[in-house]
Structure 1
């Protein structure tokens, strides 16, 4: 494709692929389907002619604006930088040096895959997300740009034509077996452990937007409780039948959660494949997705820590979810990259070995944190529940005294979480376990530690306890790596070992 415009300094700028107009128009139309439905049922009183005319007018406006935006968006790939011009009224001319680009990921939604297009997302790390987007390029051009950039980052000289003008044919390479891959059976197993109510949330969102079609009291639970209590069929059932109905409703809810988790996992993980990339900067190339295919490369040198997630049931069958905490951001905005969503330990070991991160050895001795982690919160919880149950039992109904029984399962979970919160340290790595139901093992090379903070709450001082917070580059500020409630002396010794 020839260049579309020349800059004042002679640089040739190109437009995105013309089919990107169709892509963005289809996306915008899909976002306005609810608005068209509202016009049909309310404004136009179910008049199909007026609604059709309004839809055609809306379609024309969307396509016109999208085409105008496309005409004003150009880019130029130079020897050492990429420049992007955009904006209708306020023009923006952004320059992104190749030296500052940390990651390039390719994404293909369903329509893009049909049209042979891909979206290129650039990340420099300056804002914690993508800093440039080319939506959309021909798939061959997108792959060639990514490969050329990787060659530049690794010091390999690329031909001038590869970076300055004509489309580049991707280099042929022999297809090697993946480091890890998941077939449909494995994805189904992973879905069983990803319980989700996303289906109910989607139906609720649709119902909320179309609430004018529903009864006035549809979202009022007391209305439905009253309706059920007035049904002779329900009142005529025996107590056993009513209990069986309640249990059946509970199992139906669980079934919906399981089905939602399986469907959600298939959409996200379909065709999951992890390959080792040796050209340019060594890293992992991950491809996955049913409707939206993502193709990203994560350089190994940017991996900060390894995370192994599991649960009591999942661990019993030997299944783990291996993630890497990286300086790069996921397409979804997360900093943890899935490397093996559902793997046996012997499958995760070779992936860990590529990053030079060692797994737990049988002789590694873990240390538990202080038991105050559970009993201190248990005392506070018991006092609060006792006050609530007594207050409501005296003034409202004696049945509220039973609220105190809620403390038993909650305290049991607290004890289990305490038993599974452990840490161990070697000369090169820190291991931290947390959680009972959602078990998480973080393996952090000591050389990746950025900061070590020791803090004490007002409840820690009398017991001489402290919490150690370890800062990791690219880590979460909301949920940092912590070792809770260890003696102050051990906390100070641990800090010395880490820094």
Structure 2
């Protein structure tokens, strides 16, 4: 008889998600049954068995959907191993995927409306390997989801410490200090934010609904009735004259403003409700959402750079947004929104907590080459100049009397394009100090990028044919999870930036950055 090795470790047992996940699938089946029930009921109108047939179809869809929801739950298991987490799924064909803890960059929790009502969360694991969630568990209870997230992080940190030969200094869940709130948005801030999120997307939806409703309501008949009403009262309408037209135009603009503002307001409140950014021992934790609640944690050492942006109107009132460029994904983007609507004095402590600084008052700014400014103006206006030549030639042959009018339009556009480039050049600049590099651009809506030199991976100078001839180039800086390019830099300055960045890269131990 062979004795069992005394140090053999028991194999971890596969676990299932919360049984209430079946209920979520059943509610989804009920939702999917609504349209078929309505279709059968309307198509068999006037017949006694119409309602019974519609109910029968709906019941069949619900039963089949609920059955497959149970099978999916029954066949979905996850195993928390010593080195990785493994998820097995599939009813007819099985699929098994595993991700080592060291590859997991982020573990986020998401709660859509129905799961949130049942106290369930979807746990999403991201590795940054090309765009989306590598693994997802739907659904666990809120406590189980938070416990799994903390367990994955602890094992990832422990594994990273073992690989580097040091012990991980990340605190355990019981030792973790209280979080520090860095930025929050209450109802008042959301209302102000919504005023700047004017949107007319709802009109496209209403137009689609009008086309759909035309099959049930004879809109043409309604228009004919309205036309008959106005024709019967033609003298009264004519008496109002211009006053009626002005009032109609004002009413139309008022409706557009109200609908556009309401649309933006609804979008802001549903997406940003309860927005809270905290500084925890494990990084930045962001929670937001009214119907779909998301809970994302961004480790500090994963923040590669910051982007401060704004829009034309909100910039005039001092409002900006702040994003972290990260290796992890946030709704399909490589940048995490950490302050969607904030003043600069609110942004400053956030980026300081991430290890960045706003440019100082005595920063040494450098603009793009004047030759780049001239070339950009010529290139952007060249399309309109060619258009003026082509259309002007054709007009001289077939309609000479329209020549000045036809030629003047593209020429004016060419002047506008050239002027815009000349103006934009004044606001396009960069600065390099001992620890970071900053680039700003934009006239009506400025945008700034900040990256620490320690986290840049490469530096190169790209030159096209015109740039080589004119003596400038584009400096491309390797930033994991994002792009950092400074166009039109004079060649001597570009070489200086590259030399200083490469000097920092050569003196950097990147293993210390990853485990810090």
TM (norm. structure 1) is 0.81
Residues 445/373 of structure 1: CA separation in 2 closer, same or farther (3 Å cut): farther
Partner of 2:264: 261
Report if aligned partners of 1:15, 1:71 keep a CA contact under 8 Å in 2: yes
Task: Give secondary structure in 2 for the equivalent of 1:327.
Answer: strand
Report if aligned partners of 1:15, 1:70 keep a CA contact under 8 Å in 2: yes
CA deviation after TM superposition for structure 1 residue 329, in Å: 0.6
Residues in 1 aligned to 2:239 and 2:491: alpha-carbon distance in whole angstroms: 64
Report if aligned partners of 1:374, 1:418 keep a CA contact under 8 Å in 2: no
Compare 387-396 and 404-413 and name the one that shifted more: 387-396
Residues in 1 aligned to 2:395 and 2:201: alpha-carbon distance in whole angstroms: 35
Report if aligned partners of 2:325, 2:335 keep a CA contact under 8 Å in 1: yes
Residues in 2 aligned to 1:435 and 1:32: alpha-carbon distance in whole angstroms: 51
Residue of 474, 487, 500 corresponding to 1:467 = 474
Task: Give secondary structure in 1 for the equivalent of 2:444.
Answer: coil
CA deviation after TM superposition for structure 1 residue 456, in Å: 3.0
CA deviation after TM superposition for structure 1 residue 213, in Å: 4.5
Residues in 2 aligned to 1:349 and 1:429: alpha-carbon distance in whole angstroms: 15
Residues 148/211 of structure 1: CA separation in 2 closer, same or farther (3 Å cut): farther
Partner of 1:417: 424
Q: How do 1:27-106 and structure 2 match up within 5 A?
A: 27=28, 29-30=30-31, 33=34, 37=38, 41=42, 47-106=50-109
Residues in 2 aligned to 1:372 and 1:248: alpha-carbon distance in whole angstroms: 47
Partner of 1:454: 461
Residues in 2 aligned to 1:395 and 1:25: alpha-carbon distance in whole angstroms: 69
Report if aligned partners of 2:34, 2:58 keep a CA contact under 8 Å in 1: no
Partner of 1:165: none
Compare 39-48 and 114-123 and name the one that shifted more: 39-48
Unaligned runs of 5+ in 1: 1-8, 158-169, 218-222
Q: How do 1:166-205 and structure 2 match up within 5 A?
A: 171=174, 176-204=179-207
Task: Give secondary structure in 2 for the equivalent of 1:338.
Answer: strand
CA deviation after TM superposition for structure 1 residue 35, in Å: 5.6
Report if aligned partners of 2:389, 2:407 keep a CA contact under 8 Å in 1: no
Q: Deviations over 1:94-143 (max 9, x none)?
A: 22222222110001112222111111001122343211111000110111
Report if aligned partners of 2:467, 2:473 keep a CA contact under 8 Å in 1: yes
CA deviation after TM superposition for structure 1 residue 309, in Å: 1.0
CA deviation after TM superposition for structure 1 residue 51, in Å: 3.2
Q: Are residues 1:14 and 2:21 paired?
A: no
Report if aligned partners of 1:452, 1:471 keep a CA contact under 8 Å in 2: yes
Residues 245/216 of structure 1: CA separation in 2 closer, same or farther (3 Å cut): closer
Report if aligned partners of 1:285, 1:295 keep a CA contact under 8 Å in 2: yes
Report if aligned partners of 1:389, 1:403 keep a CA contact under 8 Å in 2: no
Residue of 431, 439, 454 corresponding to 2:446 = 439
Partner of 1:148: 151
Partner of 1:371: 373
CA deviation after TM superposition for structure 1 residue 274, in Å: 0.9
Residues 76/325 of structure 1: CA separation in 2 closer, same or farther (3 Å cut): same
Partner of 1:345: 344
Q: Are residues 1:494 and 2:494 paired?
A: no
Residues in 2 aligned to 1:45 and 1:28: alpha-carbon distance in whole angstroms: 28
Task: Give secondary structure in 2 for the equivalent of 1:178.
Answer: strand
Report if aligned partners of 1:373, 1:484 keep a CA contact under 8 Å in 2: no
CA deviation after TM superposition for structure 1 residue 447, in Å: 2.0
Residues in 1 aligned to 2:321 and 2:245: alpha-carbon distance in whole angstroms: 40
Task: Give secondary structure in 1 for the equivalent of 2:461.
Answer: strand
Residue of 111, 114, 121 corresponding to 1:111 = 114
Q: Are residues 1:120 and 2:127 paired?
A: no
Residues in 2 aligned to 1:397 and 1:56: alpha-carbon distance in whole angstroms: 73
Partner of 2:167: none
Residues 41/338 of structure 1: CA separation in 2 closer, same or farther (3 Å cut): same
Residues 213/411 of structure 1: CA separation in 2 closer, same or farther (3 Å cut): farther
CA deviation after TM superposition for structure 1 residue 448, in Å: 1.9
Partner of 1:5: none
Residues in 2 aligned to 1:434 and 1:33: alpha-carbon distance in whole angstroms: 51
CA deviation after TM superposition for structure 1 residue 67, in Å: 1.5
Report if aligned partners of 2:378, 2:418 keep a CA contact under 8 Å in 1: no
Compare 409-418 and 118-127 and name the one that shifted more: 409-418
Residues in 2 aligned to 1:471 and 1:235: alpha-carbon distance in whole angstroms: 68
Unaligned runs of 5+ in 2: 1-9, 161-172, 503-516
Cα RMSD for the two superposed structures = 3.7
Residues 252/417 of structure 1: CA separation in 2 closer, same or farther (3 Å cut): farther
Residues in 2 aligned to 1:31 and 1:419: alpha-carbon distance in whole angstroms: 56
Report if aligned partners of 1:119, 1:133 keep a CA contact under 8 Å in 2: yes
Report if aligned partners of 1:304, 1:444 keep a CA contact under 8 Å in 2: yes
CA deviation after TM superposition for structure 1 residue 445, in Å: 1.0
Partner of 2:384: 382
Compare 454-463 and 291-300 and name the one that shifted more: 454-463
Compare 105-114 and 239-248 and name the one that shifted more: 239-248
Q: How do 1:169-248 and structure 2 match up within 5 A?
A: 171=174, 176-204=179-207, 206=209, 212-213=215-216, 242=245, 245-246=248-249
CA deviation after TM superposition for structure 1 residue 407, in Å: 4.9
Partner of 1:334: 333
Compare 285-294 and 85-94 and name the one that shifted more: 85-94
Residues 95/177 of structure 1: CA separation in 2 closer, same or farther (3 Å cut): closer
Q: Which has the higher helix share?
A: 2
Residues 11/211 of structure 1: CA separation in 2 closer, same or farther (3 Å cut): farther
TM (norm. structure 2) is 0.78
Report if aligned partners of 2:435, 2:452 keep a CA contact under 8 Å in 1: yes
